[in-house]
Chain A
Amino acid sequence: MAAATTEKAPGAGLLAGSGVAFVLPLLAVMAIAFNAPILLMLSWSVSNPPLSLEHYREIFETTLYARVLWTTVRIALATTLICAVLGYPLALWIRGLSPRARIIALALVVLPFWVSILVRTYAWIVVLGNAGIVNRTLLALGLVGSPLSILYNELGVLVGTVNVLLPYMVLPLVAAMARIDERLLQAAASLGAGERTIFRRVFFPLTLPAFAAGMILVFILTLGFYITPAVLGGGRVPMLSNMLDLLINQLPNWELAAAISTVLLVLVLAFNALSAALRERAA
């Protein structure tokens, strides 16, 4: 979009000097209110005893923390998988719609972004609870004798995370599918490839980088989820974030909270770098 306009001769325009003065106010505020707190957190994670990895050892050696870490990763993996299985067909289907229908379908996908995550999570209590829609329907149909427990366990949390994160999978896929050069598909067809072959050998590989990037995005976003497990898990499905809430707000252990946060941050940054590399390749 803006490839050609950034060349500038020194001193051109109205910037006195290099323009660094424009950046400094924000840089100063960020340094105080963002960078410093993150660095402070990092330093707390290795403090008391000073400069030790004691708290990191504690995370991985205490059964409770290791279990929470594993629960978090497991839920993130499951969310990613379900989002992939539901998201890819949806994107594919949207691609085949008429332009008008496509806009409506995309609006439905984007709409939840603008609705508070609390509201969306709350709705699932109504749907999944013991007296919720699903259970009352099943009971009325006589399919079950007593209400199924879908809420306040891992299943309930999964419904919530998938619901919130699906758009992050679908939107990049829709964009990637729209970018595919139609002539490639036509060329494949004219060379005698069957429909399935075109999908498998041409179309799907072209969407793969975006698909992978979408999955990574969903995965890292789930790792940091707090609201959904707190509400739909009813306190019974603690994830890393809920653990952090406990360590900060209930039984102050800042060093450990800082260490867990650091682990989470490193995980997210690593996967983020991976995702950026994939996007680079896709572009």
Chain B
Amino acid sequence: MTLPSGLVGLGGGERTPIAWPDRLTVGFIAVATLVFLALPIAIVVPMSFSSAATLTFPPPGFSLRWYAAFFGDARWHQAALNSVLIAAISSTMAMLLGTLAAYGLVRGSFRGRRLIEANFIAPLIVPPVVKAVAIYIAYARTGLLGSYLGLIVAHAILGVPYVVLLMSVAIRSFDQRIEQVAASLGARFPTILRRVLLPNILPSLAAAWIMAFIVSFDEIIITFFVFGRRETIPKRMFTSLEQKIDPTITAIATLLILVSLLTLAAVALLLRRGGLLRRGGAVGPV
């Protein structure tokens, strides 16, 4: 899922009321739309505790059978293991390479930086299915279809734009003169990196890693195209959705929502500590 421009302008004071064409209509549409937005989540969570094997809502009774079905199924275990493994390795790769590149882009003075940055952001703009087709053809020609290596690299590429964007902001907002002072005092690059820069950008670094992790963990289309017979959680959810209605999916969905909310909270906390997200202040168009 792409990054919303959602870190923008959360706060602010009272606004002078302006008139809109029809207050009542606007209010009605707005509330109905909010309900519409939240509805899927409000439906799936109670459904996961249903005792019925059909999709009746509200659920006729309470049970944990769908959670038991998930935790008792070896194929789901394997899918979960694959998901975590691929997300962990690909996000680490994206974080390391992306942070290094962000440092070069922000502090460097070489030509073509804008072009190179555009190249790093490009995976965000190319539609997922186009990437899937391109990578499928490339992997089919090199024997990487269905391999862990292939999917890990593909997912790392997906995480790169998020890491580069986040870390560029973080590095730019860290005063370069502090690094220069350290250098003039005789510290070499590894020391400056470890003792000066890293401690200061650590929260953003963690946020970027989590971001890249989620991007990989949620990814379906490329996984569906290039991972062959192997499965990840989203891929298995998708294939079983296409075949039959299996309420086990609601249990996994609920677990995923829980994980998402926890990581979201972690990211918000980290970004605030990193000073990227301020309440009440107009962060403005970044």
Of the candidates B12, B104, B218, the one whose C-beta lies within 8 Å of that of A21 is: B104
* Contacting pair A261 B16 (CB below 8 A): no
Of the candidates B17, B110, B237, the one whose C-beta lies within 8 Å of that of A19 is: B110
* Contacting pair A115 B41 (CB below 8 A): yes
* Contacting pair B172 A30 (CB below 8 A): no
* Contacting pair A186 B16 (CB below 8 A): yes
24 A–B pairs (Cβ distance < 8 Å), ordered by A: A2-B173, A5-B172, A14-B183, A19-B103, A19-B109, A26-B100, A26-B120, A103-B10, A105-B34, A109-B37, A118-B234, A122-B44, A124-B40, A125-B55, A127-B43, A171-B6, A175-B285, A178-B282, A194-B19, A199-B18, A227-B238, A248-B136, A268-B126, A272-B125
A120 CA / B220 CA spacing, docked (Å): 14
A94 CA / B239 CA spacing, docked (Å): 38
Whether A40 contacts B141 in the complex (CB less than 8 A), given A2-B169, A120-B40, comes out as yes
- Residue A117 interfacial (CB < 8 Å): yes
Give the secondary structure class of A's interface.
helix
Of the candidates A94, A105, A109, A117, the one whose C-beta lies within 8 Å of that of B220 is: A117
* Contacting pair B20 A23 (CB below 8 A): no
Number of interface residues of A (CB under 8 A): 114
Instruction: Enumerate chain B residues within 8 angstroms of A144, measured Cβ to Cβ.
Output: none
A19 CA / B111 CA spacing, docked (Å): 10
How many A-B contacts at CB < 8 Å in the complex? 348
Whether A163 contacts B36 in the complex (CB less than 8 A), given A35-B119, A227-B220, comes out as yes
Give the secondary structure class of B's interface.
helix
* Contacting pair B5 A89 (CB below 8 A): no
A139 CA / B120 CA spacing, docked (Å): 53
Instruction: Enumerate chain B residues within 8 angstroms of A102, measured Cβ to Cβ.
Output: 10, 12
Q: What's the interface size class on B, roughly?
A: 35 or more
Within A1-21, the residues touching B (CB, 8 Å) are 1-2, 5-6, 8, 10, 12-16, 18-21
Chain A contact residues, CB within 8 Å of chain B: 1-2, 5-6, 8, 10, 12-16, 18-23, 25-27, 29-30, 33-38, 40-41, 44, 85-87, 89-90, 92-96, 98-99, 102-103, 105-106, 108-127, 129, 131-133, 163, 166-168, 171-172, 174-175, 178-179, 182, 185-186, 194-196, 198-199, 203, 220-221, 223-224, 226-227, 230-231, 240-241, 244-245, 248-249, 254, 257-258, 261, 264-265, 268-269, 272, 283
